[in-house]
Amino acid sequence: MKPVAHKVKAYSAASATSPLAPATIPRREPTDLDVQIEILYCGVCHSDLHYARNEWHFTQYPAVPGHEIVGRVTKVGPKVTKFKPGDLAGVGCLVDADLSCPYCRKGLEQFSPSMVMTYGSMDQHLNLPTYGGYSEGIVVTEHFVLRIPENLELAAVAPLLCAGITTYSPLRHWKVGPGQKVGIVGLGGLGHMAVKFARAFGAQVVVFTTSPNKTEDALRLGAHEVIVSKNADEMAQHAGTFDFILDCVSADHDINAYLNMLTVDGNLTLVGAPEKPLPVAPMSLIFGRKSLSGSLIGGLAETQEMLDFCGQHGITSDIEMIRMDQINEAYERMLKSDVKYRFVIDMASLK
Ligand code: NAP
Ligand code: ZN
């Protein structure tokens, strides 16, 4: 039986080259385990832009991006136990999975073969593509809905749902902490959260940026030092000294320059996902037994842990609020690294 759906207002892209424009999309009526959320704020991730413009070659049109969602619960299914109408709630990059495979059971839902992304997957209930958070409302299985700490500014919490967990998870996985020198490459949405977390975890934090005008901000956000990566002398002084580097860059760049910054047994983890392959010089890894790895968002339990950590330590994103109709301009500014440090859409502007 096809479940009942209702329509909500949204913003979508009709093709890789069309700007985002007003649209209406279907959402299912909450089933037994579903939570219906009125979206109040949605962060603007660079992945939204990659997706809208089909830079990863799997976009389904019309495309509704947005996976940094916060809002208020308006309705719950009869078997929902964690949420009730009126509660604050968050949704990140995942909205469904089987919950029984080995990865789900380990809290690594992001690696489940049945994982359903907030946009760019198929909604198993409606048998339609999933549509993201650039919309008035969303309906999500309870397991994928997060509790929001009440003491934080709600709009500034939205980016934690992707930029937050995507940087928190690899920093935890690689046990970043006191006594370690940690580099963060690219001071954008992800990068500025990585700086806050690495500092909170007690590491010596160094930012690599292509934007000299971000130096003061980087220090204010928690960096101990800032290296302008175009400056060869500054780069040379730090060669071979980093225990861990998190690469948060959205565009083509030379990762060998950063592999050369690692000490023996150091690791560089990519979270940035540029469209084109990044060539690796084998000698950058061989000399020093270095490793290169990647990381994808984080599981649901770890996302909740991250949100609770942010509540305890007063950590949020530095945001610039925009209206929904400013999204195309925001994308152009994001491409110019002109965002301090995350755009967040005030969803009231869609009404
Ligand atoms: P963003 O806010 O646009 O930040 C990217 C930063 O990269 C820029 O602010 C800039 O920092 C630097 N940069 C841009 N162009 C560059 C270039 N040509 N060379 C060197 N540096 C450059 O993007 P974001 O939202 O943080 O996302 C970053 C990347 O992570 C995107 O590719 C996104 O799709 C990906 N992502 C991955 C995951 C995951 O699970 N792995 C999750 C979310 C996002 P400076 O001005 O400081 O140089
Ligand atoms: Zn994202």
Query: How does DSSP classify residue 20?
Result: P
- Give residue 234 CA to ligand 2 midpoint distance, Å: 31
Give residue limits of the domains in the chain: 5-162+298-350, 164-294
249, 256, 343, best to mutate for ligand 1 pocket (most atoms within 8 Å of CB): 249
Domain at 5-162+298-350, CATH from 3.40.50.10860, 3.40.50.12370, 3.30.70.360, 3.90.180.10: 3.90.180.10
**Mind listing the pLDDT tens digit of every residue in the chain (351 residues)?**
556 899 999 999 999 999 999 999 999 999 999 999 999 999 999 999 999 999 999 999 999 999 999 999 999 999 999 999 999 999 999 999 999 999 999 999 999 999 999 999 999 899 999 999 999 999 999 999 999 999 999 999 999 999 999 999 999 999 999 999 999 999 999 999 999 999 999 999 999 999 999 999 999 999 999 999 999 999 999 999 999 999 999 999 999 999 999 999 999 999 999 999 999 999 999 999 999 999 999 999 999 999 999 999 999 999 999 999 999 999 999 999 999 999 999 999 998
SS3 of residue 11 by DSSP = strand
How many Cβ atoms are within 10 Å of 336's Cβ, its own excluded?
Answer: 8
For residue 178, give every residue at least 6 positions away whose Cβ sits within 8 Å of its Cβ, in sequence order, or none. Answer: 202, 203
Which residues are near ligand 1 (CB < 6 Å)? 45-47, 50, 162-163, 166, 186-191, 209-211, 214, 248-253, 271-274, 295-297, 334, 337, 339
Kind of pairing, strands 242-247 and 262-270?
Answer: parallel
Please give the C-alpha separations between residue 71 and each of 35, 137, 164, in angstroms, as whole numbers: 11, 8, 17
Supply the residue whose CA is at minimum distance from atom 34 of ligand 1.
47
Domain at 164-294, CATH from 3.60.20.10, 3.40.50.720, 1.20.58.340, 3.40.50.300: 3.40.50.720
C-alpha 22/C-alpha 92 separation (Å) is: 22
- Give residue 318 CA to ligand 1 midpoint distance, Å: 15
pLDDT given at position 2 = 57
